[in-house]
Amino acid sequence: MSPFKEFIKGFYEQNPVFRLALGLCPTLAVSNSIENAIGMGLAATFVLVCSNVIVSLIRKGVPAKIRIPIYIVVIATFVTVVDLSMAAFRPTLHKSLGIFVPLIVVNCIILGRAEAFAGKNNLFRSFIDGLGMGLGFTFALIILGFVRELLGDGKLMGYPIMGPKFEPVLIFILPPGAFLTLGLLLGLFNWLDTKLKKE
């Protein structure tokens, strides 16, 4: 696969959220506003890229039996870096993301890519894969956040878009709305996929 394809697959063909059903916990929790979605997406992308790079560098020297705990330590280290940096430089974002920042360490996407890809591919490809998957994840979060914030709050990035007459459909920013929106979007992507395959 060419590097460009490697990068782009994370957006549609192998989108972690919409196609691979990975990383669902943070997706539901932080998509109640676009700002949270972007923040979480970029944090996860940073961890994914860094851990993919390190895992790819050490892949020849890691004994197969204990590779999972080693990957976990690598990932946890970068998560701690992101956690502390965010708390220092973006305290409001850190507060609204809450426990989901340290929970990036158990985000199935990151361990999944380390195991399935970075452990078997060279540095450049692992970097591209991490970047593509991470940005694809961010893309999915933004789509979800867009729908939820617009319908549930009447705003986009905090700016009132729908005007004063609009009654926000509150349920969209509450937990049930997350489930419903994600379910419908997943269905939409499935439908889109069958349509594209027919052509």
Partner 1 sequence: METDSLMIIAVASIFITNFVFSRFLGICPYIGVSKSLDSAIGMGLAVIFVMTLASMATWLINAFMLQPSTKNLFYIIFSLEEPPDLLYLKTIAFILVIASLVQFVEMVIQKTSPTLYQSLGIYLPLITTNCAILGVALLNIDSNYNFIQSVFHGLTAGIGFTLALILMAGIREQLDLSPIPKALRGIPIAFIMAGLMAIAFLGFSGLKL
Both tokens assigned to 25: 């916990």
| 56 vs 107, beta carbon nearer partner 1 | 107
- Measured between alpha carbons, how far is 59 from 114 in angstroms, rounded to an integer? 10
Cα torsion at 159, 164, 169, 175 (round to 10°)?
A: 30
Work out whether 176 is an interface residue with partner 1 (CB under 8 A). Answer: yes
For partner 1, which residue of 1, 57, 116, 188 counts as binding (CB under 8 A)?
188
Closest CA to 53 of 121, 101, 143, 2: 121
Q: For residue 73, state whether it binds partner 1 (rule: CB under 8 A).
A: yes
CB-wise, 24 or 156, nearer to partner 1? Answer: 24
Q: Which CB atom, from 28 or from 128, has the smaller least distance to partner 1?
A: 28
CA–CA dist 41, 54 (Å, integer): 20
> Is residue 131 near partner 1 by the rule CB under 8 A?
no
Q: Does 4 bind partner 1 (CB under 8 A)?
A: no
Is 91 a binding residue for partner 1 by CB under 8 A? The answer is no
Contact 49, 134 (CB under 8 A): yes
Interface with partner 1, residue 21, by CB under 8 A? yes
Cα separation, 178 vs 176, in Å, equals: 5
> Could you tell me if 31 and 106 are in contact, meaning their C-beta atoms sit under 8 angstroms apart?
no
Summarize as ranges the residues that interact with partner 1 (CB under 8 A). 21-22, 24-26, 28-29, 68-69, 72-73, 76-77, 79-80, 83-84, 99, 102-103, 105-108, 111, 171, 174-180, 182-184, 186-188, 190-191, 194
